[in-house]
Amino acid sequence: MPDILVVAESRGGEIREVTFELITAARKLAAGGEVHAVVAEANAEAVASAVAERAKSGGYRVVLFAATAQGKNLGPRVAAKLGVPIASDVLSLSTDGDAMAVTHYVYAGKIVATMKLAANPAVVSIRPGAVEAAESEAQTTVERLSIESDASRVVVTDTIQGDSRKLDLADAPVIVSGGRGLKAPENFKLVEDLAAAFGNAAVGATRAVTDEGWRPHSDQIGQTGRQVSPDLYVAVGISGAIQHLAGMRTSKTIVAINKDKDAPIFKLADYGIVGDVFEVVPALTAAIREAKEKG
């Protein structure tokens, strides 16, 4: 019955949703043991030190992070301070005798690896969206860790706010993504309008268009970009290069709209429409708006 330390995600003082996914996973694993959640908003060096100290003094069996930008920056630091490996971006986590068993996508999302983590503590980061947060976990207290010294060699000199109205690609149930088939950066308006019609959608892009500077690199979905797993992925004017598919092939439902009937994306898509995106997407936007209004 392990005791588990959950390192919560926060931004601007607010605990982020993914934390409740971690706590849900922790409770299942703890099977009666204690689950403690902690949070700290400070530079990565200071937080990593504080978390490692807490993990040691608390004798936790498992330390959990979310595999977000924040968690990916913290988890390995904490693991190294504790002298143990980290199982990163896992899809599932369970006990395996004295050890932990995790699953994880490898080889550009084409293979699922089951791994054994035989270290104590077991440091693990969980892929956002891999675990469904149980309602009850919103009630869990998250303790604020005191940071003794905020000193860090890495100094943040500027914070650039993204558009706070934009849903993050990791959180969005729907992602509408655009590629070269849109022909020009201003045509991304079609993609944005469709995303707005869904109401709960984020906008993604392929490497081809981020390389051209049409969209920021942070919007790039693919092998060297974000890996996403939304309920619905709509690929607009995207041919389906392997490195792009690597970023979205685990989406629950995939829709592709492309002029070229031989585009590789259609082989992966659950539903494909062959046609001119400039005709199909506005029509789809209107239809989705109507469907949402009808309820």
Where in 50-79 is the site for another protein (CB under 8 A)?
68-70, 72-73, 75-77, 79
Give the residue among 26, 112, 36, 96 at the shortest CA–CA distance from 66. Answer: 26
98-157 residues near another protein, rule: CB under 8 A: 101, 104-108, 110-119, 152-157
Considering only 5, 22, 87, 172, the residue that binds another protein (CB under 8 A) is 87
Considering only 19, 88, 229, 239, the residue that binds another protein (CB under 8 A) is 88
CB of 168 to another protein, least distance (A): 5
Instruction: Report the run of H or E that residue 35 belongs to, with start and end.
Output: strand 35-39
Q: Would you say 58 or 76 has its CB closer to another protein?
A: 76
15-34 residues near another protein, rule: CB under 8 A: 16
Regarding 161 and contact with another protein (CB under 8 A), the answer is yes
Q: Would you say 99 or 147 has its CB closer to another protein?
A: 99
For residue 205 the two structure tokens come to 């892009």
Q: Would you say 187 or 223 has its CB closer to another protein?
A: 223
State the sign of the Cα–Cα–Cα–Cα dihedral 79, 6, 70, 153: negative
State how beta strands 4-7 and 35-39 pair: parallel
CB of 58 to another protein, least distance (A): 20
Q: Would you say 140 or 250 has its CB closer to another protein?
A: 250
Total residues at interface with another protein (CB under 8 A): 95
Q: Would you say 89 or 137 has its CB closer to another protein?
A: 89
Regarding 254 and contact with another protein (CB under 8 A), the answer is yes
Considering only 57, 139, 141, 159, the residue that binds another protein (CB under 8 A) is 159
Regarding 47 and contact with another protein (CB under 8 A), the answer is no
Cα 123 to Cα 100: distance, rounded to the nearest angstrom: 10
Cβ neighbours around 267 below 10 Å, total: 11
For residue 253 the two structure tokens come to 């439902």
Cα 256 to Cα 266: distance, rounded to the nearest angstrom: 6
Q: Would you say 189 or 252 has its CB closer to another protein?
A: 252
Cα 93 to Cα 66: distance, rounded to the nearest angstrom: 13
Q: Would you say 29 or 174 has its CB closer to another protein?
A: 174
φ, ψ (nearest 5 deg) of residue 179: -130, -165
- Part in contact with another protein (CB under 8 A); list of ranges 55-63, 142-150, 176-184, 272-280: 272-280
Give the DSSP per-residue string, 94-137: EEETTEEEEEEEETTTTEEEEEEE--SSEEEEE-TTSSPPPGGG
